[in-house]
Every structure is written in structure tokens, then in C-alpha cells.
Amino acid sequence: MSRARKGTKGGASSSGSAAQPEEAILTATVVTERNLDLNPSIQTAGLIQVQHLPRDRNLLPLARIYKKYNESIVREFYAAFPREEFRDNQAVPIKVRAKNVDLSPSIISDILHLPEGDTDAWNQYVNRDFDLQNAAERLFYANPAAFASQTKKNVLIQGKLTPYFAILWSFVRHNIYPSGQQSEIPTVGVKILKVLHEGTFSLPIVDIIFERLKACARKKSIIYYPCLVSMICLRSGDRARSIDIIAEPMGPISDTSVSKSISQRRNAPAPAPVPPHVPPPPPHRPASSQPFPPAPSVDTSAWDPCLQAMWGFQMLQYQHMSTSIDAIWTHLQMSGQPGTSAHDDDADDDQ
């Protein structure tokens, strides 16, 4: 499999690629990788089948990617991602916290310790016509008639998958090809499932992840691969700061977790009618309460766009922190809390 050419040593900062701070990145949902439960307390037929597959396909490192990640660095990585297009397997130069990060299939392969796959066979397979109906009815559906009765022909509904493929798709959706859907499988996802299951050829997992990561970075509405991105930035020399958010990935994929997820989607109640909006009463703030100081007002129009994005992110964190501290301080000043008295409250009310 051809590997990426390394980018220039200096890399490319976000100064030429992000005219304004990426506001969407600051609030984008993070969907983490999930490791596969390889030693469950309860063994089921579907889970046993899936457990053997990563071993047979040399994907155990990807099934064990359960690591904490630095959410602050991950968001900065996506905010600094260049806007311009890059050729397949061409390294993407990014600058995160003044460190050059050359994102490429090579660094992904080094970190995940995944074997090379047959890129040419995969590209040909993706571009060929695909009988989705036949694949669904032969492989994936517990009830093949359910797929035939659907009006959409470009997706599979996870709730109708056999237990084995439901678990396998959860693994693919989080670690190989995140799609952003909770129950629908795109055609490319179906093809990945089919090749993994049948072992027709060795999938170029690294190239698939690389291209999918670039697509996610361009969309900027949802963040995928946070564990992988955090490890890439760490290898490039980025270091955590005391104010960084260190987060845990999701729990492991197991037969129980998949069954619970499907059951919740099937049995989800209809949304309750929204009551008319009644504004809450103003919070009780004693005169002695000292609110958290407001964020400083700084003109950043002349700053480098990368610094603007970082400053905006820090101010968002500051705002969340100040809201929490104000609420705690107000709560401590109310009647019945340690260090306060009814007399103090009465005096505040009179004032």
C-alpha cells in the first residue's frame, strides 16, 4: 500500500486556512472510539463470533483503543485543520499549539499498529456497483423481508440486524467508519461489514480512517477519533495544560450494550408536549455574594487566526467555569447552608 509523502518540516499553520475561529468546533459533539469487550462475563454466540474477527484480521490494536483523551487539544486540532483539499494519502500539515502535526496514514499506522491492506482492491470494490438488497437479505437481516419492505434502499436499519452484525457494526461505526447515524448504515459501511465478515481481501483500515478523518474535519459539525487525534498530537510534542479537559471514551462494546441501545431506540417514548415557557424567578443573590469576575474584553482582530481560535476556546471554558462557581457561591450563601444564618438572610432581604 502506498504511503503518504511527509509534509514540509515547517508544516502549515492555520493562519492561511481559518479566517475566523471555528465556532462550530467549540460546541461540536464528540463521538469517541470504543474498545471491544474481549473478556465478557456472559458469552453469547454473536459476541463470540465478533471476538474472533479482530484476531483473524489482525485488528486487535483497534479493538483495544480505550484511552483517555485531551478534549481541548482535539478541538484545537479540528479548528486548525486546513480548508484546502489534499490528494489521497498525502500528508496534511497542521499546527497545534505551535507544534507541527503531519497527519498521514503512516502516523496512524504507527500509532495503531495496524497492518497494511489492499488499497487497490478496496478502491475497485467501492467504485463497483453493489447489490445492497442481496447483501442485506443474505448476510445482515434477522428478517430479510424487513429490508425489502423499506422505502429507502441506501441504508440498513441496525435494529433489524442479527446480534453478530449489530455488534460488528458498533465496532465499525466507532473505530473504522463513523457515520454520525445511530441506527442507519451507509452503503460504504455495508461494504466494510461484508469484507470483514467474508475476508475477501485485507481492508486498508488505515487509509479508510485517514480519509474519514479528513472528511469529518472538513464538516466540523461532529468530532470523531478523539483518542486517535489526542495520541497523534501527543506524539508530535503537544503537552497537556492544567486547564485542559481530559475525558474518558465510551464504555466497551458488548452484547449487552448493543441490545440495550437497540431496545432504547425501539421503545423511545414520543416527546412530551412542551409547556408554555415560564421564566424562572431570579436567583437569590445576597449582598455579600461576590460573583465570578467577568471575562476580560480583548480585541483579537489583529491576532493570528490560530491564536484567535485558541483564545475563543479558552473564553468558552472560562464562561462555563464562572457559571458553575457563581451557582455554588450563591447556594452556599442561602439559608441553612454552613456558614450562614437566618439573621444574615433576613438582613439581605431587607436590603
For the cut 80, the answer to whether the pLDDT of residue 122 exceeds it is yes
Query: Which residue, 114, 65, 23, 116, is CA-closest to 229?
Result: 65
For the cut 50, the answer to whether the pLDDT of residue 16 exceeds it is no
Higher pLDDT, 180 or 136: 136
Higher pLDDT, 27 or 7: 27
What letter does residue 136 receive in the DSSP assignment? Answer: I
**pLDDT category, 275, cuts 50, 70, 90?**
low
For the cut 70, the answer to whether the pLDDT of residue 60 exceeds it is yes
Span of 77-86, 281-290, 301-310 with lowest mean pLDDT: 281-290
Q: What is the largest CA-CA distance in the chain?
A: 80
Question: Distance of CA 79 to CAs 27, 61, 96, 243, Å?
Answer: 11, 28, 9, 18
| Residue-wise pLDDT tens digits, 208-229 | 999 998 888 887 778 899 999 9
- pLDDT value for 153: 67
DSSP string, 306-341: HHHHHHHHHHHHHHHHHHHHHHHHHHHHSTTSTT--
Percent of the chain with pLDDT over 90: 20
Residue 158, CA atoms < 13 Å, CB-side half-sphere = 26
- pLDDT value for 287: 46
- pLDDT value for 328: 54
pLDDT, mean of residues 131-153: 81
Mean pLDDT, all residues of the chain: 75
- pLDDT value for 126: 92
pTM strictly above 0.95: no
Most confident residue range from 63-67, 192-196, 270-274: 192-196
**pLDDT category, 301, cuts 50, 70, 90?**
confident
**pLDDT category, 5, cuts 50, 70, 90?**
very low
Residue 102, CA atoms < 13 Å, CB-side half-sphere = 15
Cα separation, 324 vs 339, whole angstroms: 20
Cα separation, 142 vs 159, whole angstroms: 9
- pLDDT value for 198: 92
Going from N- to C-terminal start, the domains of the chain cover 14-262, 305-346
Percent of the chain with pLDDT over 70: 66
